[in-house]
Structure formats: structure tokens, C-alpha cells
Amino acid sequence: MTTEPVDNQPEVSVPGATLAPTHRGGGGGGARKSLKIENLRIGFGDTRAVDGLSFELPPGGAVGIVGESGSGKSATALALLGLHQNATVTGRISFGGTDLTTLDDREWRRIRGARIAMVFQEPLTALSPFHRIGDQIAEVYRIHTGATRRAARLRAVEVLKQVHIPDAERRARSYPHQFSGGMRQRALIAMALACRPQVIVADEPTTALDVTVQAQILDLLDEVRSTTGAGLLLISHDLGVVAGSADSVVVMRNGRAVEQGPTESVLVTPREAYTRELIAAVPHPNPPRTVEGEPLLRLTDVRKHFKLPRRGRVDAVDGVTLDVRRGETLGIAGESGTGKTTLARMMVGLVEPSAGKITFDGADIARRRGRSVQMVFQDPLSSLNPRRTVGESIADPLRLQGVRDPRARVLSLLERVGLSPREYDRYPHQLSGGMRQRVGIARALAPSPRLIVCDEPVSSLDVTTQAQILALLEDLRSTLDLTLVVVSHDLAVLRQIADRVAVLSGGAVVELGDTARVYEQPEHPYTKELLAAIPVADPLEARRLRALRRSRLV
């Protein structure tokens, strides 16, 4: 088996209206049917995840469900496919005259995947790593249609072509790890399309993707809906994701629908305070701030290459020269594979450059690690020891400095990042994602650094938690006289927090300047492409940007 480099398989932009209709036979063929949810309640023991939810998805329509983590969005999605275990589900889910809540396991297996299909958030966990992509799609098709192996293989290639996988016949023989993140998500959509379903449920389908790949996936889902007649239920914590893709929106909080209606009405003129809070939490430009400080961190022609089996040498960072000014927040933008994380790790001395020079306040960065420079990692759950309490993890850098009893200092840090002192004795798995990120920030603050590098600090958080973390970082920068570097694939995030932005492509800086100038007058084509892909919460603007992306492909 030969592993093909993911870097050589770029995402393919989706042209408009190119899918051929697929209304011929199969498990989901026939007249389109509406999906109607009435007074849905889902409970797990004493916990009520969904409490009296009602809405309707018409044939060929698109409904977006938005809300924070824990609002009941994903619980609703799983109920539509009968995937809940150890849960009490009441109410009515009507589909083609059948109440799905009354089905037994055998009846669910005939509907799940054939008439109602799901696109999961994380394709690496939804796809088997041991089987080829085409074989997995073909198996789903055979189970639901009884097709021959040859017919199933042909159908697998057909749907891979429909989701714009290049060279679909060959790529059908690839394994999931040989696909990029966006290509894997396309494969999941292809699998969902295989049996020509009447409803597609997409649960956070773009959360972990770069903005340009995210735009491609959303464009693809919109194209699938318009050309196959399938209804689309799009679930997301990001208002910008549903704004340009949904006809109507359901806003959920604590298991209840606090507001629902046409997308333009809900997102442009919301009635409920909670909806207005969600919209206000969407990243927006802050007033420009000029920082004229002296360079604190200086990178001069910095390069980093890695030697990989069968791929030879990979130049992750290729000749980066830039300064981080004292007191500023520098944003570093780019897609996955552009060298952002490698550059961030070199900035704090965790990775040694292959060539070039990095200095902090005039001294080599290797001599200033630890006390002067700290890092906040993307995934705090993996960077915190699961067997140690939160307080002990924050205390570690203080003990390294010789502090014998750091408890008082740790309690002060917890309060400083907006956490209660009682969190000291809790473990990482007992905290929410936003709380864990606050712990990561507290640990970075412990040795009183002058520079903190944040690698994708809000990428996996819902919109309100994201806004809180960004506000916390800005408050810490101003009150503690910190310098920040924030790495993100989300340009909307950087526009809110950064004074200057460096755009990376292919390991090199292709554009660098004040944030307002880069966003309003971008010079490099790659920067323009990134900006055009930013999701926006205004439905009209979101659709205008989609039309613009498609016009560039004609």
C-alpha cells in the first residue's frame, strides 16, 4: 500500500449546480417527504437534554439548528436516526406518515442511512481506518439496496464524483488517512448520498476545517440539497455556518427552542435576548490600535524542514522574517499545512529551527524559554494531565521556579481567568471546553511571562465561549502588559483581537500589515481567498459571498 501525500491533494472548489439529479431507485427514492418534530423530549436519567422541541423540515428545505454546547443540538440529531442509547425519547418524529419514535431496531436499520442519512462532525471517527473509502461507501449501498458488489463499487465512484473528489476511480481505493480533512468530510457526504436519502442531517460538519475548506463543504451541501431534493438539517454553534445555508433557523438553549423562524428574520431582526447575545458574540472588528513598541521577539529567515519516510524533505516553514512588537497582539493566519503551528512552537523554543535566528529581547530564544515565553495550546484536554487536578497542573511551573507552597498563587490565577477556587481540586474531564481553556491560560500565566503564544485557542469552542476567551486574552494583554501571538485559521477571530496580521502560505509570509489594512485592502490573492471564505451571520451577505465564490469558478 502506497500512502499518497495529503499535501498533493488540494481541496477542490465546488462549482455551482453541477450535480446530476439522483432520483432513481435506491433506498431513499420515491416522493420526497417532510420531517416533522413535535414536542420532542430526550432524557438521560434525571438530565433533560431536549425539552419540548418542535419544528418541520419540508422536502428539499434546509433548517439550521444553532446554540451553545449543551443546548441539545446533537441530542436532537441523534434522535432523528434512532442512535440514542440509554435515553428516554418521547414526543413524535413524523416522517412519511410514520412516527420514528415507535420503531424497533430492525425498522430503524431500514431507514437509517437509506432514507435519513447523517454527516458526522469528525470523519476520522466515523470512517474505519482499516477499509478503503470506496469499500465503505459500497458496503452501505449494498446493505440498503441489495446491489451486487460491482454495482455498489460503481455507485461509490459515482457519489465520490458528485462530491468533487478528483480522480474518483483511483481515490476510491484510498484509506481515510490518505485524505485531507476536507476530503474526508466530502467522503462522508458521499456516503450519505449513496442510497439517495430524503433527509441529510449534518452535525457540525465544518467545525474542525479551515475557512476555505469550510466554505467548500457548505457550498457542496447547498448544491446537494438543490440538485437532489433532499432536505438538509444543518446543526452548528456558528451562526455564520447556517446563515447562508438554511431557509429557517431554530435557536436552542438548555434543550428548548427559544426562537425560530425564517433565517433573515431570526438573524437580522431577532426577537429574543438570547438570540441577540449569540449574534453579538460573533467576532467583529475592534477599533484599530497602533502599537509602536520595540521588537520583543525577532525572527530572521527562519526555516524548518522535516524528513519523512517516502516523502523526502518537507519545508514546513520557509524563510520567515518578522518582528513581534512589545505590547501588541500579532495574528498569524493560514490554512492547515501552512506552517502556523510549527512557527508558533519555534517562537516559544519547543521546536528548533533548521536555519535562521529567533531572539527574545536580544537573546537566543533557547535561553529564554519557560519564564519569559509561554504557550496556550489548541486542545487543553490533551495538554493537561488527566490524572492531576487543575490546581496541581497550574502549580507545576511555579514549583519549577522554587515556589514551595503555590496554592495561594494558583487560587489567584484561577480567579484572574474567571474560574472559581473550587475548580482547584477538579480534574480536566470534569470541566467544559471553555473552562479547560481558561485553565490552560492560567497555567501559561503562572511563571509571569512577557510573551504568550496561543495556538488556535478558540477553534473548538462555541461562539459565546469563544467571545469570552478572546475578551479574557485582550484583558490580560492590557492589564498585565503582555505581548500576544494568536495563531488561527479563522480570520474573523484575528480581526477582533489582532493589531497586525501575518498571512502564511506554503510556510512563508505572503502578507503582513495592520489588521484593518490587510482585511480592507488585501494585496495577495491567497489573502483575498481567505477573506472571501469567512462565514458571516448576515444571510444576505453570506449568500452574496457564495455567489461570488461560484462566479470565480465559471
User: The domain that contains 368 carries what CATH number?
Assistant: 3.40.50.300
- If asked whether residues 438 and 454 sit together in one domain, one would say no
Taking the alpha carbons at both ends of the chain, their separation in whole angstroms is: 37
260: in domain: no
In sequence order, which ranges of 271-334 are alpha helices (DSSP H)? 273-281
- If asked whether residues 178 and 323 sit together in one domain, one would say no
236: in domain: no
**What is the rounded CA–CA span in Å between residue 65 and residue 67?**
7
pLDDT on residue 122: 78
177: in domain: yes
pLDDT on residue 462: 81
- Residues 344-374: tens digit of each pLDDT: 999 999 999 999 999 999 888 887 666 789 9
Q: Among 194, 218, 235, which residue terminates a domain?
A: 194
With cut-offs at 50, 70 and 90, classify the pLDDT of residue 311: low
394: in domain: yes
| Cα dihedral 230, 91, 144, 78 in deg (nearest 10) | 80
Q: Is 0.85 surpassed by the pTM of this model?
A: no
With cut-offs at 50, 70 and 90, classify the pLDDT of residue 267: very high
Q: Which has the higher per-residue pLDDT, 534 or 407?
A: 407
Domains held by the chain: number: 3
- Please report, rounded to a whole number, the percentage of residues in the chain having pLDDT higher than 70: 92
Give per-residue burial for 214-240: e unless 16+ CB within 10 Å, then b. Answer: bbbbbbbbbbbbbbbbbbbbbbbbbbb
- If asked whether residues 402 and 312 sit together in one domain, one would say no
Q: Which has the higher per-residue pLDDT, 47 or 40?
A: 40
Q: Which residue has the cell 520595540?
A: 294
pLDDT of residue 454 exceeding 70, the answer is yes
pLDDT of residue 287 exceeding 90, the answer is no
Average pLDDT of the residues of the chain? 86
**What is the rounded CA–CA span in Å between residue 51 and residue 42?**
7
- Residues 378-415: tens digit of each pLDDT: 877 778 888 999 999 999 989 888 888 899 999 999 99
- If asked whether residues 297 and 359 sit together in one domain, one would say yes
245: in domain: no
Order of strands, sheet of 256-262, starting from the edge strand that comes earlier in the sequence = 116-119, 199-203, 231-236, 62-66, 248-253, 256-262
- If asked whether residues 436 and 499 sit together in one domain, one would say no
Q: Which has the higher per-residue pLDDT, 21 or 229?
A: 229
Residue-range definition of the domain harbouring residue 391: 384-448
- Residues 14-38: tens digit of each pLDDT: 333 333 333 333 445 556 678 999 9
- Please report, rounded to a whole number, the percentage of residues in the chain having pLDDT higher than 90: 50
- If asked whether residues 303 and 341 sit together in one domain, one would say yes
**What is the rounded CA–CA span in Å between residue 472 and residue 418?**
8
Q: Among 404, 424, 448, which residue terminates a domain?
A: 448
Who contacts 281 (Cβ-Cβ below 8 Å, separation ≥6)?
463, 464, 466, 467
- If asked whether residues 457 and 437 sit together in one domain, one would say no
pLDDT of residue 430 exceeding 70, the answer is yes
- If asked whether residues 316 and 357 sit together in one domain, one would say yes
- If asked whether residues 300 and 158 sit together in one domain, one would say no
Helices (H) and strands (E) in the chain, counts: 21, 20
- If asked whether residues 470 and 356 sit together in one domain, one would say yes
Q: Among 194, 218, 251, which residue terminates a domain?
A: 194
